[in-house]
Each structure stands twice: as C-alpha cells, then as structure tokens.
Structure 1
Amino acid sequence: MQLIEQIRQQAANHPEQLALRGEECTFSYGQLLAAAEEIAEDLQARDIRVLGLYADNGPNWLLVDLACQIAQITLVPLPVFFSQQQLTHTLRVSGMQALLSDSCERFTALEMVGQARAELAGMALIDIYAEATAALPEHTAKITFTSGSTGTPRGVCLSARTQFTTANVLARQLQPQGNRVHLCLLPLATLLENVAGAYSSWLRGGEVVVPTTARLGLSGSSGLDVAQLASCIDEYRPHSVILLPQMLKALLEHSEHNGWQPPSSLRFVAVGGGKVSDRLLLQARSIGLPVYEGYGLSECGSVVALNVPGADRPGSVGRPLSHCDIAIRDGEVMVRGPRYLGYLDSAEGGESQWLATGDLGELDAEGFLHIIGRRKNILISAFGRNISPEWIESEVLLEPIVQQCVVVGDARPHCAALIFARPGSSREQLDSWLQAVNRKLPDYAQVRTWTALPAPLTFADGLLTANGRPRRDRIAAQFQNSIDSLYGGISS
C-alpha cells in the first residue's frame, strides 16, 4: 500500500497536478486516486482475489494496477505477445478468478473462459473457471510471467513492498535529473515499465504518458516501426523513457538514415533487458540521447544496478542500487535484498538469501558491475526475451531432413539458425518446414532466417561435445560472418 499512500499524499497536496495522460484522456493526481478507488470498490464487491489483465497500453491498464493495490487483489498481467498455449498455461496455473481484457477474442476458444459479465475500466470482465485455486505465497500482489526460456512461462510472485522499494530507490536516484514527464514505451505487462517507469515517476510527483502500442509502432514481441516510435517521442517530448537494446539500435539507424534528432527535453534514457555495447551507448549520446545502461531481473523487482549521471561507466551496467547487495561467486552474479516471494510452482524466495542470477559478471575496483554472459545457454534477444535455443532446435529437428540445427539470436532482434540438412534436400523444403515450426512458436522464438552449414558439425573439429551437444561459443566464432549475414551483415 506504500505506493498508494504516496499517491494519496500527492493528491491531497497537489490534487490538480497532472499524473496520467493517454491519447484521449488525462488524470490529475486527485482524479487518478478517485478513479483507482472506484475500480477497487467494484472489484472488492465482486470478491475477486486474483485478477488477470490482458490489455493494450493506456491509462486504464495503470488504473487497474493501482486499484488492485488498493483492494489488495493479486494482479496477473498477461503479455499480449504470448501464444495461445502460453495464455492457457498462465490462466490455468495462476488461479485467477476473473480477467479484464480489451481483446476478448483471444480467449473465446478456451474452455476455462466464461462469458463477459460486466464492463469495468473500459474492458470486459470475464469469469475464469480454473481447475484449482493456486496456492500463492502470502502477500503476493503481482504475478509477473517471464516469457519463458522454453515454451512455458514461469510466474514470479512479488509483494507490493518489493516493487515499491525498487521504485522508491530509483525515484530518489533520479530526482536530481528533474524528470517530470515519463513516456511509457514498453508494454505495460513488462514489470520494468511498471516499477521503473510508472511507479518511480509517481513517487517523484511526475506525469506518466501512456500511448497505445500501435501509436508507439510496436507489434507482437519484436515488431517495431521506428519512424512511428520516433514520431511519438517527438510528439510527447518526455523527460525520460526506457528502451530495449533493439529499440535503441533502431532509433540510431533512424537518425543516421533519416536525420532524426531526439527532442531536447530528454534527460534520462534507461536501456536494459539485454546486452548493450559501449560503442552503441556513446553513439547514442553523440546525437543527444542521454542513455544509461542498467541491469535487473523480475525476481528482484526489476532493477538492481544502474548507471546514472555522475556515476556512469559505459560498458558496465552501473553500480548496485542502495536497496540490494551484489556479489560474484564462482563468476556468477549473486543478488541479496528485496526479492520475489517464490515461483508459482515453488516455495523458494525470502529476502535474506542470496539469489543466483545465472549471469556471469565482474565487479570492478570502483564497484561497477560488468555482465559477461550467461551461465546456461539462454539467449537474450535485443528485445529482452529469454529464449532457450534447445527448445527451438528440438522443434526444428523433428523433421528428418534436418540433421543438425543451431539456433542463434543473443543480443539480436530475432532468432536465426545454422542448419545442416540431408544431402539432396531443397531450400524450399526447409523453408516450408520452418514455416510450419514457426506456427507453433510464439513470435519471439520463431526462426526468421537461416543459412546452410557447409559440412556437418563434429566432435573432431571442436564444434560438438563428446555427447553431441553444440559448442555454441566456438560455432559462433567460426561462423561469425554467416551469422552476421543473417542479420543484414551487422554484428551485435
């Protein structure tokens, strides 16, 4: 309730100050609180304890989020880019009793989904008939689902306290920059945009601007119309935004090829969700994008380290924020501090424990954290999606003509593959098969491009382990030019 208490205080002291703006409506702090309390009262009257939310970006999304905090209802944001299989899984395991959605057609074919029984916050309120009630950890305020390193998303249970603590630290850290207007560029189902974007802005007494994803030029998990995105930034002239690496790269290319210049209003641009080269950061700053890289994970409330003006080292992800500790054990980044309550399928959690992140890193002499890579073979796309290459490869290898397949895509905008096919197979056959595979995969895991390996990978040439698994680093090094060609010849 701490965020709500801060908003109540702001509403009492500055009721007319602008707090939230969409394409067709605005809310002062007084109106924001009143609207959220009205929705909360309606939800409480219906005895809803776990509520799903599947909707486009807009003020109503954030009003529902705040209403759930007021009513102490567990909110389950559903990413709009999830596949039908992933949506089914999240509805089944989260124990939600109802769903608010502006896209009912995505759910009509699911057996557990009932009829829309009311309209609330401009969306349909739909009954969900779950097979069993989920046993949520006590104080679960939000269940944020990761995109899933395999096809099954994993629910991270977070308390309001953990989210507030992270947002509050960020608010204090960024207060000197005078960032009053924050433009939400990421889907609101993304925890990072909730905590570091909206919540942190309100704790500074700022204004949150929330256009639709279409207005932003976003579609699916990785579709991006950069001209539309740049136009939106120009129109709203924000003080701060959060970008994914691929969005930053696209804006730089748009500047180079079309002469776009960022508005002078921008004071702080956070970039995270994947690896960013220091060359890219310095290039961005040279055209007037004040970009600062950070690092975090959902299990820790989204952000644990961040570069800021006066404490900045390009190539690092910044120093740890004051609410957490970071240590390196056997090369792996460990985090201690406010964190998740547990996963939906596990009781692990607890704020007194060190969390193994799975990331390899180093702390330099000045305390800046440098991320080197992943302990496991997880690809992190330029759009911040965690993807298991083995998952996709297993689907591709179901066709006998595909004898070997190595999926690539770390820090890239989409997945691609190196394939060795049965001699005599045609490219048309493989294209047709990959199209069939892609129809079963969410868009962020689809193989968009591929190239043929000149010869099979072998243990003798050092490209396979003794048990036949690909040595990914060696394959990436040996076929660097081929991989670059799959992405237009641009190296990551």
Structure 2
Amino acid sequence: MSDFFNKVQQLAQTSPQKTAIISAQGETTYADLMGYCAAILDHIPADKKTVAIYGPSSALWVAALLALEFSGKRIVPLPDFFSREQCQHVLQDCAVDFILRDPVCPGFDGVDEYVWSTAQALMKQGRAEPSQQILYTSGTSGTPKGVLHDSAVLDAKANALIAAAKADARDRHLSVLPFSLLLEQIVGVRLALSIGACCIIEPMVFQRCMTGDFSLLHQVTEQFKPTTSVLVPELLRGWVLSLDHVRKNAVETLRYVAVGGGHVPDGLAQRAWDLNIPVYEGYGLTECASVVCVNHFGQRKAGTVGKPLDGVAINICEGEIQVQGPSVMQGYLHGDAIQDCWMTGDEGTIDEDGYLQVYGRKDNVLVTSLGRNINPEWVENKVLEDPRIERCFVFGEEKAFPSAVLVVHPPFKAHFKVPDNKETLIQQLFQGIPAYAVPDRLIVSDRETLHQHGLLTSNARPKRKAITQFYSL
C-alpha cells in the first residue's frame, strides 16, 4: 500500500468534507474520493495482476489509481491521447488482463473490464503489497516502451516537489495535462491530494489549448483562482500570446507554475512573469520518475532548469547528463534491470551555483558535410525567442548547411513569404548564430500539417526522421 493512499485515507478520516477535486462534475470531497475508491475496488478481480486505467483526467481516474495502489496491482495508465494502435500495443506489451475504464473511452475486445460509475461505498480495511506502475512514454514511434516504477518512488518524488514548490494545503492546483502523463500524476494527484490541497480538473482545457484556443483556460483560471499548475513550453507560449492578444494578465493568485518537457526560451519566460505567470523551469524524464531538477520557489535562476530534487544526484559525464538515485527506473518492461544510474542522452552543464543547464539531445547532433557539429535544439531555441514563431525544427545531416521548418503563429503568417524575403527572414531569425549553423533553406508549415501527417508525437515533440522524409530535407 502506498504512502499516497495512506495520506488520502487519513485526510478522508480527519477532514472528510474538505474539497479534494473540482471538476465539471462538481466538487469531490476526500470522503467521496475514498468512497469511489471502495466502489471501484469491489469490481477488481483478485486474480488480475496487471490493470490499466483508461480515461480522461477526473475524480474517478484518481479513485481508480487509489484502488489499484491499495490492492497492490501492477498499474498501467493508458493515455487517452494515444492512437488505437498504440493502445493495443501497450495492452499486449505488458499483458494487461483487466481495464478500469471511463465510459467516454471505447473498450477493447478480449480484455475484461469494469466501466466505472459514481456509486459510493464505505472504505474497507485491508493489507496489500506495494503497487508498481508501467508508464509508457510517447516515444517517436507507434510502439513506445514501458518504464517500471514502484509507487514508493513516485511518493518520494511528490514529497521532494512539495519542498521545492513550498506547497501546502492552501494550494489550488489547476490540472491542465492528462493524468496519464507521469508529471501531472505526481504533481496534480499525488502531491496535491497528499497534503490536503484541492485539484481543479477540466480536461477540455488541454484539448482546446492544443488547437490554439486558450479562452477556456482564461475562463477556468479566472473562475477558480488556482495557485499552481504544470505546463509544457508549447502551452506556456500559447497562453502568453493569448494574454497579449486580449491585453490581460493572468490571475494574481498564481504563485508557482512549473514548466517542463522542453526548453523555455528566456524571452518567453520573462514575458510570462510580466503577465503574472510565475514560471519555474524544470527538467526530467519518465525513466527517472519524471522531475529531476526544478527551480525552487523563490530561488529561480533564469536560463536554467534549477537544482536537483532531494534524493537525486546529477553528474556531467563527457558532456552528457547522468542521473543517480532511487528515482531511476527499475528498467524497461522486458528489459534488463537498471541499478540507480541513468545516462539521459541529454547534453548539459552544471553552473557554479549548482543549477543545471540543458542544451538538447546528444543523438540529435548534426554533422555537416563541412565537418561542423551542430546541436539543432540550440539553434531552434534561439529562433523561438522570436514571439512570432510557434515551432522550429532544424535538419542538415551531411549537408553543407542546415534547413529549417518553421511554424508561424497565424497573425504573422503574411510576413513569412519564402522565398520572397528569405534573406531578410534569415537575418532576423538567426541573428547571433554562427554562419555554419545558419540554415540556407526555410520551409514555412503549420500545426495542421504536422498533426495530419503524423509528424509529431502524442505530446507534440517532433518526429525528426518523419519530418526529414516528408519535406525531403
């Protein structure tokens, strides 16, 4: 049984009417949450060992997680944004033999399931072994890998983040990312609910934001006055641009907005702070139980992803970031065991104050036909300082000079006519970048093309090989 389960159960006993979750279905108290947990627990067969949770973020998703952690099952959060083929791969890869499913998601032939409802019951007493989760990264293909973590490791990571964010029961966490993403599960579920805070859920915020519509995010933040949230850089960029467009600031109640999953340009972060979005950059990966480093509350250092969390050690080995400690995964499903040390594949340095700077993926480095090594993410991040640019991807293996694919925010599209003003655009966008790393070819695309042709992963990271082939780079 996990520490997270014990803390939520204790809160249900000591503060039963305290609000745990706010969603479109209304308010859910800590007592309600444990009641839902017990009702779901009644429907989990004892002989089923590996159980998936399939559905959008909701109070019942949390209740299902609690029920599985109580019963000591192997847990597989199945992302509702995965394709049908990816879901089938996950179910087969880790031999899921039971599914707890939200009725809004379709079932799967050949796998037993329970479709949850809002029925309540009294919490039963019992003992169980610690649970384990199999967490699937989005990957760059249709067959992502399963990462193994014990619930105790996830609880320890949540406790470390409580200290880093100085979180307490007065916080109101706005959950934007899906719970099936480990980062949001740790912060929005395990952290918030274990300290008696309130989690605000509106799954449509994420879906609408991913289409470029941030109006619901504005509405939800103004209505519920959250204090914390977690975003990825693309969502932060869109939120900043939308606030600029309507000439408004974010709500003043926000005190800590963690941003991870990619580089946050300094200019974007500063503009966010100007608009009352207190950005705290972080860095992590699923293989290391999500967050590894983060800028601590009141101790942010611009241009970095902060210091290591308690219990995590960071080293730089020949330019590559190495993570050590118990938060390193047990291993990949079907793979060899890992012994508390993980080479991340990311390049970075640690400054004199102990803050980590991340430069990009080591295996993305381009070697031009002129013998120059170029980290494309370094060039891309420089270009993203321009608020007109939504995405930038740089390619050029074995070419004399690289090429760049740009996604421009719609209001500025008319200005980006290639090749009409190619030279002017190159001078503007790549100012300060060495001549050997400046692209000699620009392609202006749009988010619809990238999504329709499968050029991005499910969490919007570029599939570099697919983009290269699609644009004949």
User: Where on the TM-score scale, by shorter chain, does this alignment land: which range?
Assistant: 0.7 to 0.9
Report the AA paired with residue 9 of structure 1.
Q
The Cα offsets for residues 440-463 of structure 1, whole Å up to 9 and x where unpaired, read as xxxxxxxxxxx9999xxxxxxxxx
Distance 1:96 1:341, change over 3 A: same
Q: Which residue of the other structure, out of 453, 477, 480, is the alignment partner of 2:438?
A: 477
**Aligned counterparts of 2:282 and 2:96: Cα–Cα separation in 1:** 33
Q: Does 1:170 align with 2:161?
A: yes
Q: Which residue of the other structure, out of 324, 329, 339, is the alignment partner of 1:350?
A: 339
The Cα offsets for residues 223-279 of structure 1, whole Å up to 9 and x where unpaired, read as 342122222222221111111101110011111111232111111111111110111
SS of equivalent residue, structure 2 residue 329 = coil
**Aligned counterparts of 1:231 and 1:104: Cα–Cα separation in 2:** 24
**Aligned counterparts of 1:2 and 1:265: Cα–Cα separation in 2:** 29
Partners of 2:101 and 2:115 within 8 A in 1:
no
The Cα offsets for residues 373-405 of structure 1, whole Å up to 9 and x where unpaired, read as 1111299xxxxxxxxxxxxxxxxxxxxxxxxxx
Name the counterpart of 1:203.
194
Name the counterpart of 1:361.
348
Q: Tell me by how many angstroms 1:122 deviates.
A: 5.7
Name the counterpart of 1:37.
38
Q: Does 1:60 align with 2:60?
A: yes
The Cα offsets for residues 180-216 of structure 1, whole Å up to 9 and x where unpaired, read as 11110001111000002221112322011112x22x1
**Aligned counterparts of 2:68 and 2:253: Cα–Cα separation in 1:** 33
Q: Tell me by how many angstroms 1:84 deviates.
A: 2.4
SS of equivalent residue, structure 1 residue 303 = strand
Distance 1:158 1:474, change over 3 A: farther
Name the counterpart of 1:259.
247
**Aligned counterparts of 2:229 and 2:266: Cα–Cα separation in 1:** 19
Name the counterpart of 2:142.
151
Report the AA paired with residue 268 of structure 2.
L
> Identity percentage over the alignment?
29
Name the counterpart of 1:436.
none
Q: Tell me by how many angstroms 1:474 deviates.
A: 8.8
Distance 1:209 1:105, change over 3 A: closer
RMSD: 3.3
Instruction: Indicate the larger mover: 51-60 or 311-320.
Output: 51-60
The normalised TM-score by structure 1 is 0.71
The Cα offsets for residues 126-158 of structure 1, whole Å up to 9 and x where unpaired, read as xxxxxxxxxxxx966211100113332111111
Distance 1:156 1:16, change over 3 A: same
Partners of 1:54 and 1:103 within 8 A in 2:
no
Report the AA paired with residue 114 of structure 1.
G
Q: Give 5+ residue unaligned stretches, structure 2.
A: 120-128, 367-375, 397-416, 421-433, 448-473
Q: Tell me by how many angstroms 1:335 deviates.
A: 0.6
Distance 1:190 1:283, change over 3 A: same
The normalised TM-score by structure 2 is 0.74
Partners of 2:21 and 2:28 within 8 A in 1:
yes
**How many residue pairs end up in the alignment?**
388
Name the counterpart of 1:398.
none
Distance 1:82 1:415, change over 3 A: farther
Q: Which residue of the other structure, out of 179, 182, 189, is the alignment partner of 1:191?
A: 182
**Aligned counterparts of 1:257 and 1:479: Cα–Cα separation in 2:** 32
Distance 1:200 1:409, change over 3 A: same
Q: Tell me by how many angstroms 1:70 deviates.
A: 0.8
Distance 1:312 1:409, change over 3 A: closer
Report the AA paired with residue 159 of structure 2.
N
Distance 1:100 1:5, change over 3 A: closer
Report the AA paired with residue 171 of structure 1.
I
The Cα offsets for residues 95-118 of structure 1, whole Å up to 9 and x where unpaired, read as 11012333677455xxxx237765
Partners of 1:41 and 1:71 within 8 A in 2:
no
The Cα offsets for residues 335-362 of structure 1, whole Å up to 9 and x where unpaired, read as 11122111112022233xx210111000
